Amino acid sequence: MKQAEGKVLMGTLNKKGKRPLKSSLVTGTVTAVWLMLQATLISPPSVAQTSSREGGLTYSSLVEKIEAGEVAKVAIDPVRGVAEVRLKNQAKDSATQEVVLFGDSNPELVEAARNNNVDLEVQPSTDGGTVAWLITHGLLAFVLLMALLMFLRRTNNSSGQAMSFGKSKARFQMEAKTGVMFDDVAGIEEAKEELQEVVTFLKKPERFTAVGAKIPKGVLLVGPPGTGKTMLAKAIAGEAGVPFFSISGSEFVEMFVGVGASRVRDLFKKAKENAPCIIFIDEIDAVGRQRGTGIGGGNDEREQTLNQLLTEMDGFEGNAGIIIIAATNRPDVLDSALLRPGRFDRQVQVDLPTYKGRLGILEVHARNKKLDPSVSLETIARRTPGFSGAELANMLNEAAILTARRRKEAVTPLEIDDAIDRVTTGMTLTPLLDSKKKRLIAYHEVGHALLMTLLKNSDPLNKVTIIPRSGGIGGFAQQTFNEEMIDSGLYTRSWLLDRITIALGGRAAEEEVFGDAEITVGASNDIQVVANLAREMVTRYGMSELGPFALESGNSEVFLGRDWMARVEYSEEVATQIDHQVRAIAVRCYGESRRIIRENRELMDQLVEMLLEQETIEGEQFRQIVGQHTTLPEKQLMAAQVS
């Protein structure tokens, strides 16, 4: 018997001689609940026994009274176990007496009642205790069963999550369903051409292998935010029609060390099973930053994840047929090992669109917009240099919203102008009342606009307004910048000096008109721009009397492993000379702006009165008025002719 019991007990152990924790826990819980249910459901309901009242009848005295002929009626209630007795000499309106019975049959009582012709009835009382007992205990059993099921379900879910904690969270698409093709991506033709090779290799690899060519293992998309890097990845997925894995760099990093590396291994394992395929990692700088950088060293979890990613991309095992595409707008923070040939072989620059690119982007996003025939996409493209694809799409959407708000049937040039201003400067607020503040703002903005029109190397004025905008902007004077200069970044010294002079035009107008005691803090942002431009001219561009020396690098981010305090790259004597040169540039430009405003004071008063009346003056009208009083520079005359 003991051997049999031993065999039974051994049957519940695993191969290592230990009882499985999960199965034993579940078995113990089920057993406990079953015992509770048995104890609850099998036990009978307790019956309240009513004892005879003190001084009342007992069972034996009841039998004696029946035999003596003193009892008129006996009603037996078997549920309660009592007999209700009414005596012959008892008043009809008085209560009956109760006698506790013994057992269920009570043969002596029944026989005595029959022999003496006593009215005997068996009438059970209407007692709802049994029904209530059944309902209560049934609900209790139901609650216990539901609690058991929820416990078992949570146990299974917890174990499943624990097992999948290191699994990859990449979205997998066997066939790309992005709905984006190369025709839907405009403004970045060079990038599309390079990525078209990736699509061709995935569809027809023999075209490259026949001549011994190898497709790059990784392609890194680099560019400012909003230029269409993610859109390009969607277009590649739509064109190639191969399995497509999409994941963000931040999804690799967790608080537990080793989880990110496990997810990288799982991602590449799935990719190898579905090769040829594409892996797209968005914002790869979240996991691919330089190792061992920042204050106090690096991050163990992120660095282990990066090491695993480097090994999977180009390690001992090959990844034939797997192409990795990543996107970032911070290539300078990426680890150098990630950018070497064999990993990310090719870097595709996705720059801000040129005029033709902006025109193509506007044509794509204007497909589902109802535009008025007077709206010219060419004009919009020329007015928006420096806009990214996302900003152009947002601008057209804002114009459509304004059109619906104004209850118009189609987008007109007015909505386009308002949308451009809203994207660049902010939402329009209620115009100011005619007051001293409004007049001061008008002189400030006309000072900027007048210098934009009279300076030789300045870009032409687009418009000047005193309608306030959100963000504390009381008004603004807007230029139409030279697209070629903005795209190339080749700013001349004369252009920079005129830029500083224009920025100081608002403060110069305040001082010339209202006096030194009435200048305001409205020019604080302009003065900050002046300080930055003048210092860069001296320390980075070599455009001062100090000579062509780069005295500052302008790049000292701590999280990249650089110094906590910017390293001083020159002596104190040179630092003093830099301060003198920066001040000399600012003072010289400020004097020039005051001279021009002083010489054209009557013209400025006329322009201010017109601006106070109209609240907005377009660049063409502004140049016409200025041309009637003075000779415009050649650049401004060309702008007036184009207008």
Two tokens at 390?
């996302």
The CA-based dihedral angle spanning residues 509, 513, 517, 523, taken in that order and rounded to the nearest 10 degrees: -20
Residue among 29, 34, 27, 31 at smallest CA distance from 141: 34
Distance CA 396, CA 418 (A): 11
The dihedral of CA 509, 510, 512, 516: what is its sign? negative
Asked if 594 and 451 touch (Cβ cutoff 8 Å), the reply is no
221 Cβ neighbours under 8 A, 6+ residues apart: 191, 229, 232, 233, 325, 326, 327, 328, 348, 350
Question: How, if at all, do strands 346-349 and 218-222 pair?
Answer: parallel
Query: How many C-beta neighbours within 10 Å does residue 233 have?
Result: 24
DSSP symbols for 544-577: STT-S---------GGGT--SSPPP-S-HHHHHH
Distance CA 557, CA 554 (A): 9
Between the alpha carbon of residue 84 and those of residues 73, 96, 123, 142, 377, the distances in Å are 8, 6, 10, 40, 104
Query: In Å, how far from its chain's centre is CA 376?
Result: 35
DSSP symbols for 383-416: H-TT--HHHHHHHHHHHHHHHHHTT-SSB-HHHH
Distance CA 613, CA 626 (A): 17
Active site residue 445: yes
Give, for 270, the enclosing helix (H) or strand (E): helix 259-273
State the catalytic residue, choosing from 445, 510, 512, 592. Answer: 445
User: What does the chain come to in residues?
Assistant: 643
Q: Active-site residues: which are they? A: 445
